[in-house]
Amino acid sequence: MTFTDLKLCAPLEKAVHNAGYVTPTPIQQQAIPVVMTGQDVFGIAQTGTGKTAAFGLPILHRLFNEGPVKFGPRVLILAPTRELAIQINENIMTYAKGMRIRTVVLLGGVSIRPQIDQIRRGVDIVIATPGRLLDVIEHRALRLDRVHTLVLDEADRMLDMGFMPSIKQIIKLVPEQRQTLFFSATLPSEIRSLANTILTNPVNVSVTPEKPTTEKVDQRLYFVERDHKRALLAHLLKEDLEGSVLVFTRTKRGADRVVRDLEKVGMRVASIHGDKSQTARQRALQDFKNGRMRVLVATDIAARGIDISSLPYVVNYDVPESPETYVHRIGRTGRAGNVGVALTLATPEDRSQLRDIEKLIKMRIPAVRDHPFE
């Protein structure tokens, strides 16, 4: 199958061709024809599978065929993090070149006023984090009664972040007669139950990556005493790792501490987490993507939505609390056919978490035995 077989409208065919897309990914092959028929979709798909185009292209196809309307929005896309919302908007704008489609991104951390002004100028697609969307609605700046397509992206992460009450509130504000597209990487019972209440006769779409993330990434384990962790990280960055490095910490305070330690040894480094302003987060991410910043330190929630196809290294400065989080973290590297390396700095107290991770990924993570801080 090629994109031509999907019979998208002419501007989308051109945009897809200009973006270099030829063959749809498995999620796109399954989802696009279904979304174009107007049916609900329940999709299980990881980040990096081409999910945004899987719902974005057929949504734009429908809007193009409907033609411009004065009142909106007609589409609401909910995302768990600011970074993911911005990334979805960038993709939608790429696909919508040559079409008169108006989008607005609603997210916290920046002034609400410009977002409200943008809505008042007219909007077809709203891409929002749940909290800021409700803020805008409270300002009486937005109504959702004309929404015909609702997308929930990364629903499991929204559950993790405590957004379920907000999502239930938002769902009451959109028409019952609508198309709902629901995507999640994992399927906890609460997600299954939410899907059952908001979807009508959905078509199930499920893709697993051709190769598990864990097979595409060279994983290494460094055992180290807690007091020597910072010195080991600095040593690895100076001696062993070349190019961009994404470092994960468990907490916001931990992220800031790592930044301070690395700045002391002359590294170009920044952190992104929930306490940073949206402007600071975007600047740090942009500097990291274009190579001005070599090291980016992030918490798990802030890193959701970071999509850098050629990221060579991920470092788990702290072992994550859940094995699934480990898989998500290391999946940031080894993308788009590139080789990736994931390093984990583990203290003796982390052994039980490591056992859980190895059980999930069905392999032992090789330990590096000859480092200076063993």
What does the DSSP 8-state code read for residue 337? T
User: Are 61 and 121 in the same domain?
Assistant: yes
pLDDT exceeds cutoff 90 at 19: no
Q: Please list, in sequence order, all residues whose beta carbon lies within 8 angstroms of the beta carbon of residue 76, skipping any fewer than 6 positions away.
A: 125, 126, 128, 133, 144, 147, 149, 150, 151, 170, 174
Find residue 313's DSSP bridge partners.
245, 341
Please give the Cα distance from 103 to 126 (Å, whole number).
6
- 186 and 53 within one domain: yes
- Residue among 280, 317, 322, 324 at smallest CA distance from 299: 317
Say what the pLDDT of residue 213 is.
62
Residue 366 belongs to some domain of the structure: no
Instruction: Note whether 187 and 283 are same-domain residues.
Output: no
| Per-residue pLDDT band at 71 (split at 50, 70, 90) | confident
Shared domain for 167 and 303, answered yes or no, is: no
* Segment 293-335, tens digit of pLDDT: 999 998 877 666 566 767 889 999 999 888 878 888 888 887 6
CATH of residue 243: 3.40.50.300
Q: What mean pLDDT do residues 4-18 have?
A: 91
Range of the domain at 315: 213-361
Pair of tokens at residue 142: 């937005």
> Of 84-98, 191-205, 309-323, which gets the smallest average pLDDT?
309-323
Give percent helix, percent strand, percent coil of the chain, each to the nearest 5. 45, 15, 40
- The β-bridge partners of 316 are 248, 344
Task: Output the pLDDT for position 211.
Answer: 53
Of 289, 187, 204, 298, which is closest to residue 244 (Cα–Cα)?
A: 289
H helical segments located in the chain: 10-18, 26-36, 51-66, 82-95, 112-120, 130-138, 155-160, 164-173, 189-198, 213-216, 229-239, 252-264, 278-289, 300-303, 323-330, 351-361
Indicate if 33 and 125 belong to the same structural domain. Answer: yes
Same domain, 190 and 155: yes
Cα–Cα distance for residue pair 22/348, rounded to 1 Å: 48
Whether residues 243 and 177 share a domain: the answer is no
Confirm whether 373 is domain-assigned. no
Final residue of a structural domain among 152, 178, 206 = 206
256-270: average pLDDT: 92
In a domain, 37, yes or no: yes
Checking if the pLDDT of 247 tops 90, the result is yes
Query: Which residue shows structure tokens 């019972």?
Result: 189
Q: What is the mean pLDDT of residues 66-92?
A: 92
Q: Report whether pLDDT(267) > 70.
A: yes
Question: Which residue among 206, 228, 252 closes a domain?
Answer: 206
Domain end position, chosen among 206, 222, 250? 206
Residue 372 lies in a domain: no
pLDDT band at 286 (very low <50, low <70, confident <90, very high): confident
Contact, 189 vs 198, CB < 8 A?
no
| Non-local CB neighbours of 212 within 8 Å, separated by 6+ positions | 361
Split into its structural domains, the chain has a count of: 2
Q: How many CB atoms lie within 10 A of CB 337?
A: 8
Can you tell me which residue has the tokens 């004065």?
70
Cis-peptide, bond into residue 188, ω within 30° of zero: no
Question: Would you say residue 215 has pLDDT above 80?
Answer: no
178 pLDDT exceeds 90?
Answer: yes
Q: Which residue has the higher pLDDT, 303 or 286?
A: 286
Nearest to 32 by CA among 17, 54, 11, 14: 54
pLDDT band at 125 (very low <50, low <70, confident <90, very high): very high
* 309 three-state secondary structure: coil
Of these ranges, 2-6, 136-140, 276-280, the one predicted with the greatest mean pLDDT is 136-140
Q: What is the dihedral of CA 271, 160, 357, 348, to 10 degrees?
A: 60
How far apart (Å, rounded) are the C-alpha atoms in residues 248 and 313?
A: 11
DSSP string of 64-99, one letter each residue:
HHH---SS---EEEE-SSHHHHHHHHHHHHHHTTTS
Same domain, 202 and 59: yes
Q: Are 172 and 224 part of one and the same domain? A: no
Regarding whether 59 and 175 lie in a shared domain, the answer is yes
The pLDDT score that the predictor gives to residue 305 is: 57
Does 134 share its domain with 161?
yes
Nearest to 170 by CA among 219, 116, 126, 121: 126
pLDDT tens-digit series, residues 221-246: 999 999 999 999 999 999 888 888 99
Same domain for 267 and 198: no
| pLDDT of the residue at 177 | 96
Mean pLDDT for all residues in the chain: 89
Beta pairing partners, 271: 297
